[in-house]
Amino acid sequence: MPIKPVRQKNNKTMNKKSTLYVTQGSGNSFKPMQVAAQLGLQCNVTYLDVLAGESRTAEFLSINPLGQLPYMMVDEGVGLGESNAIAWYLAEGSKLMPDTALTRAQSIRWMNYEQTMLEANISPVRFFTYIVPELEKDHEAMIPVWRERGNQGLAVLNNHLEKNDFVTDYGYSVADIAVYGYTHLADEGGFKLSQYEHVSAWIARIQDQSGYVSIDQLLSGRNQSLAA
């Protein structure tokens, strides 16, 4: 599928007061970090260690009352939550932003799908079996449910990617980065990505994009202490 002509390169410069809060090893935090890396955006990045409770301190809750990461302070007093919204904001005006009504709607479709069928299942099973396996027992009733739903989600994505190189008709975009965030980590949750031939080929296509940076490079370490 041909990639549409590249639009004006993103010339957004981050306000000096803007800060992106992220956490290590997270497919959600990966998304805005990947967009920023691929577009060469300069961001102040603050790493918070969720496992050490750094996302639930009074200081961070005064910034984001939900205590979730990623979170972006776009300007003084203007915060933005939700990984896909932050990734979208950072991609605005760049070659990563689909440029027609249909391809932008397709992006919303797949970014919502990511949150409800992929992230919602892959993330918890990966978290409780791989990141903190000592908590697996407390969630043993839900683990097969998350795996079943996650596999349903991957199967639908696989069918879509059989006929499409990227999730929308625009070509490689912020929507692919969003869907890729947790999808590419699924094996760490006990899924078998090798069973999903077209998803695997799409993952390889994303990793081949110029400027792609792996999650290990973007968000290294699991238990690093707060670093600005």
Ligand X SMILES: N[C@@H](CCC(=O)N[C@@H](CS)C(=O)NCC(=O)O)C(=O)O
The three-class DSSP label of residue 141 is: coil
Stretch in the footprint of ligand X (CB under 6 A) among 39-47, 67-75, 145-153, 185-193: 67-75
64 near ligand X, judged by CB under 6 A: no
List binders of ligand X among 172-211 (CB under 6 A): none
Strands (E), 127-207: none
Give the list of residues 6+ apart from residue 20 with CB closer than 8 angstroms, or none.
32, 33, 36, 43, 44, 45, 46, 70, 71, 72, 86
CB count within 10 Å of CB 92 equals 12
DSSP 8-state secondary structure symbol assigned to residue 33: H
Stretch in the footprint of ligand X (CB under 6 A) among 21-29, 33-41, 152-160, 183-191: 21-29
Residue 92: what are its φ and ψ, rounded to 5°?
Answer: -50, 130
Stretch in the footprint of ligand X (CB under 6 A) among 13-21, 39-47, 76-84, 168-176: 76-84
Out of 18, 24, 28, 107, point to the residue binding ligand X (CB under 6 A).
28
Out of 54, 73, 82, 97, point to the residue binding ligand X (CB under 6 A).
82
Out of 43, 49, 67, 124, point to the residue binding ligand X (CB under 6 A).
67
Out of 10, 18, 19, 23, point to the residue binding ligand X (CB under 6 A).
23
Are 119 and 87 a contacting pair, CB within 8 Å? no
153-162 burial code (b ≥16 CB/10 A, e <16): bbeebbebbe
Q: Which is nearer to ligand X, 18 or 115 (CB)?
A: 115
Distance separating alpha carbons of residues 145 and 69, to the nearest angstrom: 25
Query: Which residue is closest to ligand X by CB?
Result: 83
H-helix or E-strand containing 20?
strand 19-22
Q: Which is nearer to ligand X, 24 or 103 (CB)?
A: 24
Closest CA to 119 of 53, 55, 177: 177
Q: How far is the CB of 188 from ligand X (least distance, A)?
A: 13
Stretch in the footprint of ligand X (CB under 6 A) among 7-15, 65-73, 132-140, 198-206: 65-73
List binders of ligand X among 128-167 (CB under 6 A): none
Out of 9, 56, 109, 222, point to the residue binding ligand X (CB under 6 A).
56
Residues engaged in binding ligand X (CB under 6 A):
23, 26, 28, 50, 55-56, 67-70, 82-84, 115
